[in-house]
Amino acid sequence: MQINFPCGASRDTIEIFNKVKKSDFSISKDTLLCQKILNFPLIVSSKIAHQTTWSTGETKDTILVSSAGNYVVNLKHSCGIYIDTVVISQFLYGKAIRDTAYCFPSTQTITNASVNKIKWSTGDTTQSIQISQPGQFIVEETNKHCKHIDTVLITAKTKTTKIFAGNDTIICDQPISQNLSVFSADAHTTLWSNGATTDNTTATDSGSYFVTVTNVCHTFKDTVRIELFNKYLNLGNDTTYCFASDYIIFAPNRANYSYKWQDGSTGNSFAAKRKGQYYLTIGYGKCQSTDTLNITGDDATDQLYIPNAFSPNDDEVNDFFPFSFSNKPIDMEIYNRWGEKIFDVKKIQIGWNGIYKDHLVESGVYLYKIKYKDCSNRSIFVNGMFTVIY
């Protein structure tokens, strides 16, 4: 302050002190309440004489509040008014989806909408997580000292994951009357390929039976085959065959059939190498059937056999060259060691007896050329050497 006079000026200083400070009052602090707010006390205390007025209209130093909010307090004292605000917060946690049933297998999303820090039992820390199977999922929310735990139970809408119409079946005898059935633990509709709409139906003919089962989530399909066992196995008509190669006998090729041929072999085909009687027994469970096939014709052993020596000594042992061949005729030429043709006959059926010019030939090596037809009527040409011995 300064005062001016005609002769000069006078100055002085006045220092003003606030007699009331914030520290003179004790007021409830801002508070986060984890539980429901009910009659929570807000308190003001001070050694200084004052008059209290809350924003609720109450004039007591202590009031009880039951809701979150900003509570303003006016403290009037001899030097003026002191104003403060107390913030009361309620811990608000999110709400996960209710216990729910989904169609599995599938991928679903479950969510816990919240502003708090989140941690799922899966380890995820996001509001939403992806699940691919039913189960119990726990979510934990935290905000400072407050924590809330919730559990979500996810179940499957259906228990059925597949259906089974039964094993493929072979029936031994007619008439066919085979029960077919499916099972599903859930509400469902059933449709068989024969038009039946019940879980059970009867197969009255051989063939494939298709079934479709539909529930709230899925459609399942399965097939069962009913087959009539070939009780009267047929290997074919008896036949005549030239065994220049094997004769292959075929039987029906069926899964789970058993096969037993006359020699004990167990394949579904048999290579016959010579004429004779062949038989096969096939079986499936209690079902069995047998058939016989007779094959006649020329054996491989009936074909021409050319030895490397023969002895035309009239002892009835190896007296002709060649000494064993089929009934079909052959053309044969024979030459001595000097290349002289000593035998030339067409369509011979007996063979050469070692005679040349009405005399037995000498011991030694001779050359032959033979032409004949096998049992399949193929022309065969052979040549070589043989020895005449006595």
The domain boundary residue, chosen from 65, 90, 115? 90
- What pLDDT, on the 0 to 100 scale, is given for residue 60? 95
Q: Considering the domain boundaries, does residue 246 fall inside one? A: yes
pTM > 0.75: no
* Number of compact structural domains in the chain: 5
Q: Considering the domain boundaries, does residue 5 fall inside one? A: no
* 379/308 same-domain check: yes
Q: Considering the domain boundaries, does residue 45 fall inside one? A: yes
The domain boundary residue, chosen from 123, 156, 189? 156
The domain boundary residue, chosen from 60, 90, 120? 90
CB 216 within 8 A of CB 103: yes
**Mean pLDDT per 10-residue interval, the chain, length 390 residues:** 65 57 85 93 90 95 95 91 94 84 90 91 94 94 94 90 87 87 90 95 93 93 89 87 85 87 95 92 89 83 76 83 68 93 86 90 94 78 92
Q: Considering the domain boundaries, does residue 12 fall inside one? A: no
How far is C-alpha 331 from the geometric centre of its chain's CA atoms? 68
As a whole number of Å, the end-to-end CA separation of the chain is 172
How far is C-alpha 256 from the geometric centre of its chain's CA atoms? 22
Q: Which domain holds residue 368?
A: 303-388
* 375/353 same-domain check: yes
Distances in Å between the Cα of 377 and the Cα atoms of 43, 241, 305, 329 are 127, 12, 17, 12
CA–CA gap between residue 120 and residue 62 (Å, rounded): 41
Q: How many C-beta atoms surround the C-beta of residue 219 within 10 A?
A: 10
Nearest Cα neighbor of 256 from 289, 284, 225, 296 is 284
Q: What is the CATH number of the domain that holds 141?
A: 2.60.40.10
CB 280 within 8 A of CB 271: no
CA–CA gap between residue 148 and residue 142 (Å, rounded): 7
- What pLDDT, on the 0 to 100 scale, is given for residue 17? 46
- What pLDDT, on the 0 to 100 scale, is given for residue 372? 82
